[in-house]
Amino acid sequence: MRIVESLTGMRRLSRRLPRPLILVPTMGALHEGHLALVDHARCLAGRRGSTVVSIFVNPTQFGPREDFHKYPRPFKRDCSLLRERKCDVVFAPAPAEMYAPDASVTVNESTMAAAMCGTSRPGHFAGVCTVVTKLFNLVQPDSAVFGEKDFQQLAILRRMVRDLNIPVRIIGHPTVRESDGLALSSRNVYLSAEERKQAPLIQQALREAELKIRTQAVRRQALENWMRRRIERGSLAKVDYVVAVDPKTLQPKEPIRLPVLLAAAVFFGATRLIDNLLVE
Ligand code: AMP
């Protein structure tokens, strides 16, 4: 497994890597959710093709009061996990090289990025779209794998490659969970023991809402309020948003008809967790 830090080094290597070349963009602090994407990439690349995993904690997708500086960066551990999963190349660009001090061009999606996480994290998706475009330019992959846990991100990136004619196939992968239903996340390490106990309430509430949708007529606002109350049964949970939206447009779905995406962001103290459930 090669570890590449320089941008020109990555560009040069990508020309020589056997195809298909499959990219998995990450911010590191890898867990089994990330590793499932890497396994899927390996499967798509086959024995002949190549897998590249990028590790880059992208400053432009963090807000000024978010956890950019304290975000975990266990680089050596990440590399040994990736070696075990037969990854071919780790691309870990040096932060100073990625952005010119006077960088002034960004990539913005202007409808879906305004909803859900975009409301409480202004600028977040512009940061994501910009860094993913840069990674695509540097690595030149045929396909890139992203987790459905970040459903909004996946939808926006699909729109981005469509609208900008970027020749990369975007592939979604199902969310990997703990046995109690909590979605794996690099941020779960921030949770206290009591917060960790309450965190599975998010997925539980979405599952209970799914049952409601399948068995009775429900109005969107009433359903959203109900999900909020179910999650906040956890005394430490503070809902940022919980919505029932159209999975294609991410706009509120009224009346509720399948398919519908149930999605939530919930604070436990300073830790913000997201999760979703697609009801089809
Ligand atoms: P991150 O390092 O948080 O930027 O995540 C990198 C990629 O891993 C993104 O495509 C995420 O959607 C995906 N991912 C994160 N957590 C999970 C999970 N629990 N299951 C599946 N994919 C995940």
Q: Are residues 242 and 162 in the same domain?
A: no
CATH value at residue 82:
3.40.50.620
Rounded to whole angstroms, the Cα distance separating 97 from 29 reads 21
Q: Are residues 159 and 70 in the same domain?
A: yes
Look at residue 95 in the predicted model and tell me its pLDDT: 87
The two tokens of residue 190 are 């921030």
Parent domain of 129? 2-173
**Tens digits of pLDDT across the chain (280 residues):** 999 999 999 999 999 999 999 999 999 999 999 999 999 999 999 999 999 999 999 999 999 999 999 999 999 999 999 999 999 999 999 989 999 999 999 999 999 999 999 999 999 999 999 999 999 999 999 999 999 999 999 999 999 999 999 999 999 999 999 999 999 999 999 999 999 999 999 999 999 999 999 999 999 999 999 999 999 999 999 999 999 999 999 999 889 999 999 999 999 999 999 999 999 9
Q: Are residues 199 and 80 in the same domain?
A: no
Edge-first strand order for the sheet with 2-4 is 2-4, 89-91, 50-55, 21-26, 143-147, 169-173
Rounded to whole angstroms, the Cα distance separating 36 from 176 reads 8
CB–CB of 223/252 below 8 Å?
no
Rounded to whole angstroms, the Cα distance separating 104 from 280 reads 41
Of 139, 173, 207, which one is at a domain's C-terminal end?
173
SS (H, E, C) the chain: CEEECCHHHHHHHHHHCCCCEEEEEECCCCCHHHHHHHHHHHHHHCCCCEEEEEECCCHHHCCCCCCCCCCCCCHHHHHHHHHHCCCCEEECCCHHHHCCCCCCCCCCCCCHHHCCHHHHCCCHHHHHHHHHHHHHHHHCCCEEEEEHHHHHHHHHHHHHHHHCCCCCEEEEECCCECCCCCECCHHHHHCCHHHHHHCCHHHHHHHHHHHHHHHCCCCHHHHHHHHHHHHCCCCCEEEEEEEEECCCCCCECCCCCCCEEEEEEEEECCEEEEEEEEEC
Q: Are residues 93 and 136 in the same domain?
A: yes
The position carrying tokens 């660009």 is 93
Q: Number of structural domains, the chain?
A: 2
CA of 54 to the centre of ligand 1 (A): 12
Q: Which residues are catalytic?
A: 34
Q: Are residues 82 and 141 in the same domain?
A: yes
Ligand 1 binding site (Cβ under 6 Å of any ligand atom): 26-27, 33-34, 36-37, 146-147, 149-150, 173, 175-176, 183-186
Q: Are residues 27 and 139 in the same domain?
A: yes
Q: Which of 23, 24, 30, 34 to probe ligand 1 with, by most ligand atoms within 8 A of CB? A: 34
Q: What is the value of pTM for the model shown?
A: 0.98
Q: Are residues 85 and 31 in the same domain?
A: yes
C-alpha closest to that of 150 among 272, 267, 252, 239: 272
CA of 155 to the centre of ligand 1 (A): 14
Atom of ligand 1 nearest to the CA of 149: 12
Q: Are residues 84 and 159 in the same domain?
A: yes
Look at residue 253 in the predicted model and tell me its pLDDT: 87
Of 173, 204, 239, which one is at a domain's C-terminal end?
173
| 180, part of any domain | no
| 266, part of any domain | yes
| 178, part of any domain | no
Of 173, 201, 235, which one is at a domain's C-terminal end?
173
Q: Are residues 84 and 160 in the same domain?
A: yes
* pLDDT tens sequence across 29-42: 999 999 999 999 99
Rounded to whole angstroms, the Cα distance separating 65 from 211 reads 37
CATH value at residue 232:
3.30.1300.10
CB–CB of 33/175 below 8 Å?
yes
Look at residue 117 in the predicted model and tell me its pLDDT: 98
| 179, part of any domain | no
Look at residue 246 in the predicted model and tell me its pLDDT: 97
Name every residue whose Cβ is closer than 8 Å to that of residue 186 and which is 6 or more positions away in sequence: 27, 28, 29, 30, 31, 71, 72
